Structure 1
Amino acid sequence: MISNVNRLSLAVGMVIATLVGQAAAAPAPSENATINLIRLLVEQGILKQDKADALIAQAQNEAAQAKQAAASTAVAAGPVAAPGDVRVQYVPAAVRDQIRDQVKAEVMATAKQENWAAPNTFPDWASRISFDGDIRLRDESRYYSGSNSNEIVDFARLNNNGPYDVNPNSSTALPPLLNTREDRTNLFRLRARLGMKAEISPEWTAGIRIGTGSDNNPVSTTQNLGGGFAKKDIWLDQGYLTWKPSDELTLTGGRFGNPFMSTDMLYSNDLNFDGVAAIFDHKLNRDWGVFGTVGAFPVDYTSDTTTSNGFDKEESDNKWLYGAQVGAKWAINSNNRLKGALAYYRFEDIQGQRSSPCEPWAGAPGCDSDGTRAAFMQKGNSVFLLRDITPNPLNPTTTPQPQFVGLASEFNLLDLNLVWDADLPADFKLRSQGNYIHNLGYDEGDMRKRSAGQLVNNLDSSGNIESGANAWMVQFTLGNALDLKKQGDWNLFAGYKYIQPDALPDGFNDSSFHLGGTNAKGYILGGNYGLAKNVYATGRWMSTEAVYGAPFDIDVLQLEINTRF
């Protein structure tokens, strides 16, 4: 039995031999060679009988006409060809074209039906889905100064595990404290992410990405290994729907990557945004382009059941982030490119509120401002005690004071970013990057009023606020490649950051520099080297200290192998 592939080869070979009119080694074809060919194609299942009959009729008619024309030509031309000459059967052009088209159509139809002409193809939906991902292996060591204060409260854990009784007369337990003196070396850590994108239509795209993570914090998908070889958690890292009505406008909703031009001083590189965003990008001419982003992002919702065992529920006090950014790109010349953007971010109702007088010691399930505490914190922001607890008149000095803390400052940020890429001689490339942030919402008078005198950190010995509204960073990257893609690519980088306590919310920035948060300053040194295509090694050293308050110095060493696919 002839295979499908052999059938195709035989049919195509026969058609080519006939159509181009080449002579074969066999005796000269008879006058009905074309008809014989058509019948053979029918026997092989290449042509259907009804279509073959039409071709045979047309071939006979045109062959008769050609024979008559040939006879007339022979009379006019003179002697007949000598013995031994090869005579080639004439096939009319119309018949050749019809045979070609019919054979092609029949063969392709059979190939698609039986899936043998292209065995590696997939259904249409599969061609519209793509996957990408990355894996990072990291060895991290943290070194603390022996002169650090060992009385720095971990307010993030206090809120998560609290409330904590702050009355020393009724509580003998210490509040949760940060580790500030004991080194942690050779922490083996993993980040693994896998994403899928589906092109629903030319204008619509859906995406999903899963990732690792030691917990559900928003700023890191890094997973600590160990733990008795226990299995690791997988989280929904992204899930979004994108509509692109034109080449210049993109609208995205769901959970997606950072849509703004920013640095990790404000938003961690692992941070994803929940909400909606519109991104505009327009090229003015060969050298200039403009871009912009606007978005609305819910940070936290008031629970419908808070307090769960109380008759009175808390009023809705949802927290939002609203952002708007405009920027420009300028190709100064063939060797220099400049990109800059100015953004405004308004964090609506993220600050805490002092509660109405409440009596948790008498069985009250909570106080009416408990929901205003931050959903996630790292460290550095000024905080105050949220609850206004009425003392028990029978035991006023020993009345328990179980407390949560809230952010003392409002956060309305101006964010300026500049990036200058330069191509240097000897194939060197230099990137110079600067970022300045100012919190327009910072006001010490409002902070004291909001906290009702219950600020618990960022105070000097006289009770004055030690904080500020500014943050800035500079960083330089030099090498033969700024974005490593192949073996032998390399670069070195150096930078400095200075972040005052209330310049920005401490819950969303890089979790490595000073181990996250604000009230930190220090430098960063490191380098990258390409080991293979899409595989590179990174070494990074960060040396930081507190801007204000008690001594708190942290050095972090990170050694990594990064891959992407």
Structure 2
Amino acid sequence: MSSEVRTAAVVAILLATASSGAFAADSADSIAIRAQIEALRVEQARIAEMQRQTEAKIRALEASVGVTSPSAQTAPDVAPTAPAPMIADGEPKLNVTGDLRLRYQGDYSDEDARARKSGQVRGRLGATYAVNDRLTLGARLATGDSDDPNSTDVQLSNFDDDFEVSLDQVYARLDFGDVSVYGGKIPQPFTRTDLVWDGDVNPDGVSAMYQHKLGSGATLRANGLFFIVDEDAGGADSTLMGAQLGYDTAELGDFKFGASAAYYDYTLGSIVGADDGDFRTNLRRADGNYLSDFDLGDLIVEGTWSGLGSRWPVRFVGDYVKNFGAETSEDTGYSMDLSIGRVTQPHDWRVTYGYSVAETDAVFAAFSHDNIGIGTNYELHALTLDYVPLPKTLLTAWWYHYKPENAFDAGANAVGDWLDRLRIAFLVSF
């Protein structure tokens, strides 16, 4: 019984007791007291009904989130359903995201190939679920060839065959303050550019990410990765051990700067799981193995100037990579990108110009970008125009103008023949 009901009952008893002595002295007072007692009884009944309704609502709420009431009986061989993790507003910690991209592509050449026009589609659907305040599970479905780690696009072709869909991410994440640890097929942990890491590459293995905000407002970063590239039950494995340190300044007036230094050490004992789309234009021995080892030192610097206002930030990103394990002098790559504008609000514009050179064994081509038709040994000019027509949409046009960087590793590509690739894409995200 609630405290309000008990209080009402005690008052009713006291009034009833007092009324018995007063009845003989004054019948009018007795009638008034009886009326008060009856009113208290009505109020007591109303309070009891409110309590009953409240308890019913509590039981219904407990059932909806899977909580077993303390008074309920659970069979010994049936475990009660665990409650879903909740956030402040009462909603479960399930977060679903995705995107769909439609793209036109045109490839043009002066000498060695005919012009080609094609279309591609990319669809991705991902979700994360916070099991508790430390453990999060994540997964993502994506279109594309499951044997191609650096592309999720599907060519519109093959007599209307259905698209292949596979898991390009499935992982567990543990959070310990400034440190997050991932295991499984995990999101890319490093600050990156397309020169070394394509944005679609999701490593298999374990990573740790550290990010700490300093008192000055600057941020210190450290990332590590153990990447199982190819496991061979009958021989040596192929793995990558990588680490990166980074530092981002606080706002310095209209400026902000960042730098990231990484070292990636590949041990390539097995190539059983590789195909031509993985080797691409890296040099190989007669037995099919890579000619070079890949021990990459990678330095990225970036700066942003907001002096033109929040809508027109000017940003520069530079990346320099050197392969210290190369068996050729063609072991260096670099890229520079300069952009103006943002793409966060409807009717925003951004223009980007990029220039890059990747020598033949400067990068591990299986995981670098595939935006052009040459994996390495290229010189590239790139112009990109982005526009936000509607919320959660993006319209992008790319123009890639490129050719082989040197003659002796050019293969079938004509050295002096500049190639052009035009892409126009419409992206919807949620």
Smaller-chain TM-score bracket: 0.7 to 0.9
Please say if residues 477 and 491 of structure 1, whose CA atoms lie closer than 8 Å, have aligned partners that are also in contact: yes
TM norm structure 2:
0.80
Offset from partner CA, 1:74-115 (integer Å, 9 cap, x none): xxxxxxxxxxxxx9x998xxx99x879847743633653797
Please say if residues 5 and 48 of structure 2, whose CA atoms lie closer than 8 Å, have aligned partners that are also in contact: no
Please say if residues 525 and 540 of structure 1, whose CA atoms lie closer than 8 Å, have aligned partners that are also in contact: yes
**2:5 & 2:219 partners in 1: Cα distance?**
64
**1:373 & 1:111 partners in 2: Cα distance?**
56
**1:300 & 1:490 partners in 2: Cα distance?**
42
**1:279 aligned residue:** 209
Please tell me whether Structure 1 or Structure 2 has the larger radius of gyration of its CA atoms: 1
Identity %: 24
Matching of residue 475 in structure 1 with residue 337 in structure 2? yes
**1:439 & 1:106 partners in 2: Cα distance?**
69
TM norm structure 1:
0.62
| Superposition deviation, residue 64 in structure 1 | 6.9
Offset from partner CA, 1:324-370 (integer Å, 9 cap, x none): 111111014242211111000001126x9xxxxxxxxxxxxxxxxx8
**2:297 aligned residue:** 414
**1:235 aligned residue:** 166
**2:140 aligned residue:** 209
**2:350 aligned residue:** 491
**1:435 aligned residue:** 319
Q: Which amino acid aligns with 1:124?
A: A
Matching of residue 322 in structure 1 with residue 244 in structure 2? no
Please say if residues 486 and 535 of structure 1, whose CA atoms lie closer than 8 Å, have aligned partners that are also in contact: no
| Superposition deviation, residue 383 in structure 1 | 1.9
Pairwise CA RMSD of aligned residues? Answer: 3.3
Matching of residue 530 in structure 1 with residue 388 in structure 2? yes
Q: Which amino acid aligns with 1:377?
A: D
| Superposition deviation, residue 54 in structure 1 | 3.9
Candidates 86, 91, 109, aligned match of 2:58 = 109
Q: Structure 1 residues 375, 104: CA separation in 2 closer, same or farther (over 3 Å shift)?
A: farther
Q: Which amino acid aligns with 1:560?
A: A
Unpaired runs of at least 5, structure 1: 1-47, 68-86, 116-122, 149-180, 305-315, 353-369, 387-404, 445-466
Q: Which amino acid aligns with 1:382?
A: L
Q: Which amino acid aligns with 2:360?
A: P
Candidates 248, 259, 265, aligned match of 1:346 = 265
Query: 1:143 aligns to what SS in structure 2?
Result: strand
Aligned positions, number? 382
Q: Structure 1 residues 66, 518: CA separation in 2 closer, same or farther (over 3 Å shift)?
A: farther
Q: Which amino acid aligns with 2:282?
A: N
Unpaired runs of at least 5, structure 2: 20-35, 65-82, 86-90
| Superposition deviation, residue 538 in structure 1 | 0.2
Q: Which amino acid aligns with 1:229?
A: D
Matches within 5 A, 1:93-104: 102=51
Q: Structure 1 residues 433, 63: CA separation in 2 closer, same or farther (over 3 Å shift)?
A: farther
Residues 341-350 or 266-275, more deviating: 341-350
Matching of residue 511 in structure 1 with residue 370 in structure 2? yes
Q: Structure 1 residues 321, 54: CA separation in 2 closer, same or farther (over 3 Å shift)?
A: same
**2:179 & 2:145 partners in 1: Cα distance?**
36
Query: 1:377 aligns to what SS in structure 2?
Result: helix
Q: Which amino acid aligns with 2:166?
A: W
Query: 2:406 aligns to what SS in structure 1?
Result: coil
Candidates 167, 175, 178, aligned match of 1:244 = 175
Query: 1:106 aligns to what SS in structure 2?
Result: helix
| Superposition deviation, residue 426 in structure 1 | 4.5
**Larger relative strand fraction:** 2
Q: Structure 1 residues 413, 266: CA separation in 2 closer, same or farther (over 3 Å shift)?
A: same
Query: 1:124 aligns to what SS in structure 2?
Result: coil
**1:60 & 1:238 partners in 2: Cα distance?**
68
